[in-house]
Structure formats: C-alpha cells, structure tokens
Structure 1
Amino acid sequence: MIPHFNSKLEFLQFLSDECIKNMKKFELNHQQEIGIQKAYASTLNYLAKTEEASGGCHLISAMLHILLSEQGIENKLVIGEVEDYEANTQFSHSWSK
C-alpha cells in the first residue's frame, strides 16, 4: 500500500528514510563504507528538509562529493549530458562516482 503524503516535504522525508534503510542492505566492500553511508545519509536528510533542493542532481552530487572528499574518500564529480532516446532530447546531469 502506498502511503498518503500531505506535502512534498513529507514525501521527501519518507523517501530519505527508505533510501537510508535500504542502503544498509548493500555491502560496498570499501574500507570506508561507514563514511560513505554517513555522507549519503547526511545528503538525503538535508534534501528531505529542503524542498527547493529536491530533484537537483547537481546540488546532490556536489554535496556528496564534498562530504566524501572531506573524509578522504576518493571520488569523482561527473557532469555530463544524458540522452533520452524516447523523448529525443538531451539534458545535463551530474553524479559522484
């Protein structure tokens, strides 16, 4: 059953909680797994409380990149174009890897 949400912020908080809960099911096999999980959870928690930040891949990627880098976790901020073949269009996208 899909829960009912009274606001976008309520929905974002639910999504954040679910992502954090499910994140713990995956093993990253990385010596700094706990730091990565904390950075991811911090980013999601911030976004769940900041409605204007929802859906912003550039902001999310930059935040995660900074949090990981501050912990000495090697990662790369990637900004590129993604092609949507169904809509026959391209759009800017970013991610941290």
Structure 2
Amino acid sequence: MGFDDLMQRYFGTAELSGLSGAELVAGSERLAVDFGLETDPSRRFALWALMHILGSAPDLDVAFKDPAERDAARNFMDLCAGVSGPPQ
C-alpha cells in the first residue's frame, strides 16, 4: 500500500489541497470503514497511519489490541511529531 495509492483510493487524488470539506469527510469515512474491516495487521497499520496523518485516527487502545502494534503506532506518532515540514 503506497501513500499515493491510498490517497487515490479514498480521496480520488494524491493532492488533498484541492478537496472540498465534504470530499475530505467522505474519504475519511470510507477509510475508517475499511480500517474497521481490515484483518491484515500490515494493511491495518497503513490505514491507521493515514488516518493519523489526517487527524482522524482512533485512540491506540481502540485501534490496536496487540501491545507491539500499539508501540509501533506510538513510534510512528513520535516520528510524525518530529517532522516540521520540508527543508528550507
């Protein structure tokens, strides 16, 4: 699951800046449904990561029952928090 593939699947574009609020909400809802139905841990993590980036991820204790998966998600969150934007 590449990032661009996920964006295309749920939002119809790789560029969020051109989406209306309604399109963003609709894509996020589709993403959440697929996350709830997904059983493969890797795919589930990828969907959660995209939801986290978009600010719509469920809490870790709800999203991941496995402690190792929660730890991986915390590490991802820490990495995202350390990114301040593109280099100048």
Q: TM-score per shorter chain, which class?
A: 0.3 to 0.5
Larger relative strand fraction: 1
TM-score (norm 1): 0.30
Which structure is richer in relative contact order (CA contacts within 8 A, separation 6 or more)?
1
Larger of the two Rg values belongs to structure: 1
TM-score (norm 2): 0.32
